[in-house]
Amino acid sequence: MESYGTLPDGREVGLYTLVNSHGLRAKVTDFGAILVSMETPDRDGTLAPITLGFDTLEGWLKDDCYLGATVGRFGNRVRDGKFTVDGKEYTLATNNTPGGIPCHLHGGVVGFNKRLWDAQPSADGHSVTFTYLSPDGEEGYPGNLTARVTYTLTDDNELIWEAEATTDATTPLNMVHHTYWNLGGDLSTPILDHLLALDADTFLPTDSGLIPTGEKAPVDGTPMNFKEPRVIGERIEADFEPLHLAGGYDHCWVVNGEPGTLRPAARLSHPGSGRVMEVITDQPGIQFYAGNFLPNYRTGLCLETQNFPDAPNQPAFPDSLVRPGETYRHVMVHRFGVE
Ligand code: BGC
């Protein structure tokens, strides 16, 4: 552990470096359980950073794009910032207004990404576990929640982000890992030349406030079809209503196969560098966000495995409630390679 500086209230922030036997390097911090950087080799073996981030802690303190963040309690959007549990209505911050319509986004004003977590590096040096106690009522959510996130860098060139949580009162939960990837290694270049494949036959269309309508729409015959690898820039400006509403790709795809079992969700590759990243998850959905709202427009893309947006208000969506006695689990594997 090295010091990553101090918070305005004086608490010390740590930076942890994970290195594997092939030289891949991941840096994580206990502030926000954030992935600060990830470096992988290109097809010639040259190591380069492939995630958007900041040089210093100050950058993450000010960040409003959730770079590298662990997002919670509920990642993605909740309609009107409201949900009902056991007959009681809860009101959350409405900190996002797509299409001029207020909604709750990524856990609220001070989400998990702005909290200082406890850190516990593993004895073998391959992983770090971060723990955060989110008190009852925090950001409007019920229950004292114990959230845990472990980053592991394996010798199989996998970066694993694993979340689990328990609570003493029923609460919605959708912990999300929010790294912006740019496999080219030049972080100022748009990601439009990357090839993406998604293991998804359907996606979730939204209304103009980017809340899912509840429909699962087939991707066939639309610019949302990534069943085979496609260049991201090829259809991002297509005349297709869901793309107009979101200003590009910013949607949740329904990952094929059974939620709760680990299965492939996405494959991202960059022809110039040869870098490849596969994403494997146990979650129902994957949000592919092309960085349309980034100050440096579309210079990174997110592949966020998660439950469906607005799940707390949509009974047909997978259950998003964690109850006392249950353990929430979310596994996300990033497997790096070259071709
Ligand atoms: C969402 C975007 C949002 C961004 C905030 C993404 O997960 O899909 O709509 O603007 O997070 O950085």
Which residue puts its alpha carbon closest to atom 7 of ligand 1? 76
| Residue 199 pLDDT level (bands cut at 50, 70, 90) | very high
Q: What is residue 129's predicted lDDT score, i.e. its pLDDT?
A: 98
Which residue puts its alpha carbon closest to atom 4 of ligand 1? 65
Domain count along the chain:
1
Residue 246, token pair as written in the block: 């979101």
Ligand 1, CB cutoff 6 Å, lining residues:
65-66, 250, 287, 289, 293, 302, 304
The domain that contains 328 carries what CATH number?
2.70.98.10
Owning domain of residue 30: 2-338
User: Which amino acid makes up residue 120?
Assistant: Q
Q: What is residue 133's predicted lDDT score, i.e. its pLDDT?
A: 98
Q: What is residue 146's predicted lDDT score, i.e. its pLDDT?
A: 99
Our mutation pick for probing the ligand 1 site, out of 67, 253, 302, counting the most ligand atoms within 8 A of Cβ, is 302
Query: How confident is the model over 226-258, as pLDDT tens digits?
Result: 999 999 999 999 999 999 999 999 999 999 999
Instruction: Give which of 331, 284, 280, 328 is closest to 164, Cα–Cα.
Output: 328
Question: CA separation (Å) from 326 to 67, 148, 168, 205, 306?
Answer: 30, 14, 10, 31, 18
**Residue at token pair 């939960």:** 173
d(CA 265, CA 278): 8
Based on the residue annotation, tell me whether 139 is a catalytic residue of this protein: no
Q: How many CA atoms lie less than 13 Å away from 52 in the CB half-sphere?
A: 28
Region 123-152 average pLDDT: 98
Ligand 1 atom index nearest CA of 75: 7
Q: Is the dihedral of CA 65, 81, 141, 327 positive or negative?
A: negative
| Residue 132 pLDDT level (bands cut at 50, 70, 90) | very high
Query: How confident is the model over 156-182, as pLDDT tens digits?
Result: 999 999 999 999 999 999 999 999 999
Å from CA of 314 to ligand 1 middle? 20
Chain mean pLDDT for the chain: 98
pTM surpassing 0.95?
yes
Q: What is residue 217's predicted lDDT score, i.e. its pLDDT?
A: 98
Choosing from 139, 194, 304, 334, the catalytic residue is: 304
Q: Give the burial class of 218: count Cβ atoms within 10 A of its Cβ; 0-12 exposed, 13-18 middle, 19 or more buried.
A: exposed
Choosing from 104, 106, 178, 251, the catalytic residue is: 178
Region 112-119 average pLDDT: 98
Query: How confident is the model over 7-31, as pLDDT tens digits?
Result: 999 999 999 999 999 999 999 999 9
Is the Cβ–Cβ distance between 274 and 43 less than 8 Å? Answer: yes
Ligand 1 atom index nearest CA of 293: 10
User: Which amino acid makes up residue 338?
Assistant: V
Å from CA of 289 to ligand 1 middle? 7
Ligand 1 atom index nearest CA of 289: 8
Exposure string of 224-255, with b = 16+ CB inside 10 Å and e = fewer, is bbbeeebebeebbeeeeebbebbebbbbbbbb
Ligand 1 atom index nearest CA of 96: 10
Å from CA of 66 to ligand 1 middle? 8
Based on the residue annotation, tell me whether 162 is a catalytic residue of this protein: no
